[in-house]
């Protein structure tokens, strides 16, 4: 019985920590795809660059960890506005295939660029003292950093739900995801709205990139492709543009993925893809998407 509780707690804690990371990074992608119908395969690159910025500020310049994440948020957010205006905006009405390819191009460029600046090897950072060690749950010790991830993820989720339900921008986003033409006819400037949301989403991906360094064993150039796939399936399973859906999809897939790998080290990794296939065949609009 103890062993069972032990395993269950491990799965829940590690799985939830991973799930929160998935949520923080994927939510921006979900909004991009839901709001403008843009297939942004470069979203993982924004997260990766966020990771590298964190490595430089926290590792090389000695900026504390949390402010480093905020710097990554701002830097990547601004960078993404540049790309959005310069490149993405030209392809809003283009076929999916063009969007896929332009953003694959961006991924390629980003991989070459970060390799040039930071090298090809995985980079790690020293996490601050207060996030090291373990937290005692009474019956089990859990790593402080994972607990911190869960708390941060939950905070961000609450903040987002609140922002979406209670703020003007949130209402505009909901309206535009629901029916873009209607929103435009009501006088919402969806172009500007999208730039703003795109920047926020990319910034959050950057925070996720920074937070994930510790969990994913460092940040490296192949990150842009390696994890992109997971972000995409989180978004697809959650339903495009559906923040609540993205949250639950991240929870389900994050915990399942960790559980699979933990319980079946030999056969667990394919598990979430099988689940994704089944979910999308059953509900092409995603678990929480509207029909």
Those residues whose C-beta lies under 8 Å from the C-beta of residue 203, and which sit 6 or more positions away, are 28, 50, 72, 73, 74, 76, 77, 80
Q: Which of 69, 75, 111, 193 binds another protein (CB under 8 A)?
A: 111
Residue with smaller CB distance to another protein, 70 or 275: 275
CA 208 to chain centre: 6
Phi, psi of 135 (to 5 degrees): -105, 135
Choose between 188 and 233: whose C-beta lies nearer to another protein: 233
Beta carbon nearer to another protein, 54 or 99: 99
H/E stretch holding 286 reads none
Q: Hey, which residues between 227 and 246 contact another protein (CB under 8 A)? A: 228-229, 232-233, 236, 240
* Window 17-76: residues binding another protein (CB under 8 A): 33, 39, 41
Phi, psi dihedrals of residue 143, rounded to the nearest 5°:
-60, 135
Q: Which stretch binds another protein (CB under 8 A): 65-73, 109-117, 192-200, 206-214?
A: 109-117
Among 48, 102, 206, 256, binds another protein (CB under 8 A): 102
For residue 185, the tally of other CB atoms under 10 A from its CB is 9
List 92, 116, 130, 162, residue binding another protein (CB under 8 A): 116
Task: Retrieve residue 280's tokens.
Answer: 């999308």
Can residue 120 be called a binding residue for another protein (CB under 8 A)?
A: yes
Q: Considering the complex, state which of residue 58 and residue 235 has its C-beta at the smaller distance from another protein.
A: 235
How many residues of this chain bind another protein (CB under 8 A)? Answer: 46
Angle made by CA atoms 216, 221, 225, in degrees to the nearest 5: 80
- State which of residues 12, 70, 81, 100 lies at the interface with another protein (CB under 8 A): 100
Distance CA 133, CA 32 (A): 37
**101 near another protein (CB under 8 A):** yes
Residue 268: CB atoms within 10 A of its CB come to 16
The contacts of residue 113 (CB under 8 Å, 6+ apart) are: none
Could you list the residues that contact another protein (CB under 8 A)? 33, 39, 41, 87, 90-91, 96-98, 100-102, 104-113, 115-116, 120, 221, 225, 228-229, 232-233, 236, 240, 266-267, 269-270, 273-274, 276-277, 280-281, 284-285, 291
């Amino acid at each position: 019985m103890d062993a069972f509780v032990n395993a269950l707690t491990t799965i829940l804690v590690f799985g939830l920590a991973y799930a929160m990371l998935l949520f923080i990074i994927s939510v921006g992608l979900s909004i991009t795809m839901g709001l403008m119908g843009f297939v942004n395969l470069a979203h993982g690159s924004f997260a990766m660059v966020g990771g590298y910025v964190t490595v430089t500020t926290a590792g090389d310049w000695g900026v504390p960890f949390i402010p480093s994440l905020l710097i990554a948020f701002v830097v990547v957010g601004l960078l993404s506005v540049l790309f959005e205006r310069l490149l993405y905006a030209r392809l809003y009405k283009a076929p999916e295939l063009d969007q896929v390819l332009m953003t694959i191009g961006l991924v390629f460029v980003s991989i070459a660029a970060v390799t040039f600046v930071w090298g090809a090897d995985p980079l790690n950072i020293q996490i601050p003292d207060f996030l090291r060690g373990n937290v005692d749950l009474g019956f089990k010790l859990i790593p402080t950093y994972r607990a911190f991830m869960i708390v941060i993820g939950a905070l961000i989720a609450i903040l987002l739900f609140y922002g979406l339900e209670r703020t003007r921008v949130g209402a505009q986003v909901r309206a535009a995801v629901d029916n873009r033409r209607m929103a435009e006819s009501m006088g919402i400037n969806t172009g500007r709205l999208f730039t703003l949301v795109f920047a926020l989403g990319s910034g959050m991906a950057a925070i996720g990139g920074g937070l994930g360094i510790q969990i994913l064993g460092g940040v490296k150039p192949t990150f842009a492709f390696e994890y992109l796939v997971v972000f995409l399936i989180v978004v697809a399973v959650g339903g495009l543009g559906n923040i609540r859906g993205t949250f639950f999809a991240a929870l389900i897939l994050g915990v399942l993925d960790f559980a699979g790998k933990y319980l079946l080290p030999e056969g667990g990794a394919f598990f979430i893809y099988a689940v994704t296939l089944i979910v999308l065949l059953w509900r092409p609009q995603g678990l929480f998407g509207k029909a």
